[in-house]
Amino acid sequence: MKSSIIFLSVVCFATFIWGALYFFKTNNIGSKSGKNLISIVIGTCIVVTIINLSSIRQIRLTQFSVAGTFLIISLIIFLISVRSTSNVKFQFIGSDKVPDKIVTTGIYKYIRHPFYLSYILAWIGDFISQPNSISASVTALTFAIYYKSAVAEERSILSSAHRERYLSYISRSGRLMPKFINKNFA
């Protein structure tokens, strides 16, 4: 079971790295500095997490099942998000460029930041696999990075020509969770 969790984590991280290298654009100063920061911080978190997961001595079946489910759902959400945005190229975290288009179809109909949700679910899955201070710290740090990025991106969009359309979109969708699941957190 330990090797399966490590395998699922590596697949998630490899997919996210593919996204960073080939899917998200970095054609402005903000997104280039964001990519550099994320590469260092998240890259370090990935290495620490893989080492931490390698130290698992025993994992209970229920713990394995829940962690594996989080990792698989994370991967599915990431891939659905890529498919939903195949005709749009998003900027990398930290971009100071307002998007040309607001995507509100596919998974975006329900969640405004499904990529961030997929990343967060992977980190939570790894925490569940090896619940200790290392994985708790990594999960908290990565959650803070992605949540802060989502808020900053929304602030930027709300101060652009897309404001009215985005306000309408906000009323129908959740930031990280669909509104029909949790109206307070969304």
Alpha helices by DSSP H, the chain: 2-18, 29-54, 61-84, 114-129, 133-158, 163-172
**The pair of three-digit structure tokens given for residue 102, joined into one six-digit string:** 């607001």
Which amino acid, residue 139? T
Chain-centroid distance, C-alpha 85 = 15
pLDDT per residue rounded down to tens, the chain (186 residues) = 889 999 999 999 999 999 888 888 777 676 677 778 888 999 999 999 999 999 988 899 999 999 999 999 999 999 999 999 888 877 777 777 788 888 999 999 999 999 999 999 999 999 999 999 999 999 999 999 999 999 999 999 999 999 999 999 999 999 999 987 655 554
Burial 21-37 (b: 16+ CB within 10 A, else e): eebbebeeebbebbbee
Does 2-172 carry CATH code 3.20.20.330?
Answer: no
The residue ranges of every structural domain in the chain are 2-172
Question: In sequence order, what are the beta bridge partners of 160?
Answer: none
